[in-house]
Amino acid sequence: MQETADRLAVRHVGVVVVALAGDAVEIRGAGRTGGDRDGEPDAGTIFEIGSVTKVFTSLALARMVAAETAGLDEPLAALLPEGAEVPSRNGTEITLRHLATHTSGLPRLPKGMLLRALLRPSAPDPYAGCTAASLLRGLARTRLGAVPGRRFRYSNLGAGLLGLALAHRAGTDYETLIAREVCAPLGLSDTVITADGDRAARLAHGHDRRRRPAQAWHLADLAGAGGLRSTACDLAAFLRAQLDDGTGETAEAVRLTRQTEHRITPFSWIHLGWMGRRLHPRQGARLAIWHNGMTGGFSSFLGFDPERGTAVAVLSNTQRSVDRPAFDLLDSLEV
C-alpha cells in the first residue's frame, strides 16, 4: 500500500492511495500538495477527480430512477429546457441510459471543441466556455455517429448533458444535485465543484506531465462529465457504498447502476457510468469495476471487485496516468 504511494510519488508531485479489503480501510499519502501551503497530501486533501465525476452523475441518475423522478429510457429531450433540439438517428432518440453507457452516438467533445483542441492543444481550462446555452446550440447542430444504443463511443459531451438534464429535471444546478442525491446519503463532506472556505486551504495544486504548475479546470455546465473535486476520505466512503449489499434507496440505486450492461469487447463492458473488465482475460480472473479521470493537472482512479469485497482509489496532482499501479494494487488485495 505505502509502496504503491511511494512508487507513484517518483513520477507524480503528490499522491494519495486508498485500499479497502473487507471492513478494513487504509489511506496513505506521499509527495507534496504543491502551492503556498505545501505538505504531504493526506485523506483530507482535495483533488480534481476529472472523469471519475461520471460515476457520481450515474449514481444520481440511478437514485432518481429509483425515486421515479426520471426514467432510464426517458428521452434526453424530455429533461432539457423547452425548445432544445436533440439529434436522433433512424428514428431512435437518445435516452438517459444511452448517455450513461456512452452509447448515444454523440461525439466525444461538444461542437467546435475538437478544432480548438487541435489548434491549441495546451490551452488551459478548455471546458470553461461550456455553458448550457452553448452546449444546446451545439447539440442542435450535432450529427450522431451511430444509432443510439448500438455502439460504445466514449463521450464527455454525453455525460455532461446527462448531468445538465438531471439538474434541470430536479430544478437545481449540478453541484446541488450531487450534494442532495449522492453526498448527503453517503455522508460525503468534501465532494464539490466549488472549494471555498476551509476547503480552499486543503486544495492540492495541479501539475502537468513535466511537474510544472497547471491551471485548475472549470467545466461550467458540462460539470457532469468531470467537474467534481473530492478527497480520499470521501472516495473511500463512496467505494464502501459500492460494496454494500444493504437495503435502502442508495443501495438500490447502486445495484441499478450495475444491472445495466453494454458489452464493449469479449472481456470488457460498461454499466451506468462504470467500466467493467477482467484483470486478466482468462476464466476465474479478478473482476474490476472502475473509472479513471484526468484534467490539466490531476489524475485519478476508482476501482472495486464486488466478488472479493476489495476496492482502490488513487488521487494525484499530476497529469500522468495512475491506472496501471491502481489495477495492480486492486489485483493484489486480499480480504
- pLDDT in 10s for each residue of the chain, 335 residues: 789 999 999 999 999 999 999 999 999 999 999 977 799 999 999 999 999 999 999 999 999 999 999 999 999 999 999 999 999 999 999 999 999 999 999 999 998 886 565 446 567 889 999 999 999 999 999 999 999 999 999 999 999 999 999 999 999 999 999 999 999 999 999 999 999 999 999 999 999 999 999 999 999 999 999 999 999 999 999 999 999 987 888 999 999 999 999 999 988 999 999 999 998 766 567 899 999 999 999 999 999 999 999 999 999 999 999 999 999 999 999 87
List the one residue out of 63, 104, 69, 73 whose CA is nearest residue 257: 63
pTM: predicted TM-score of the whole model, two decimal places: 0.96
Helical spans, DSSP H, in the chain:
2-9, 53-66, 96-100, 113-119, 132-140, 156-170, 174-178, 184-186, 198-201, 232-243, 249-259, 323-332
CATH class of 2-37+45-200+214-332: alpha beta
Distance CA 289, CA 270 (A): 9
Question: Residue 156: which of 239, 227, 258 has the closest Cα?
Answer: 227
A 10 A CB-CB count for 260 gives 17
The Cα–Cα gap between 329 and 1 comes to 7
Q: Given this model, what pLDDT does residue 335 score? A: 79
**What is the SS3 assignment for 298?**
coil
CB atoms inside a 10 Å sphere around CB 66 = 18
List Cβ neighbours of 243 (8 Å cut-off, separation of 6 or more): 20, 304, 306, 309, 311
Q: Domain locations in the chain?
A: 2-37+45-200+214-332
Length of the chain: 335
Closest alpha carbon to 125 in 224, 227, 34, 46? 227
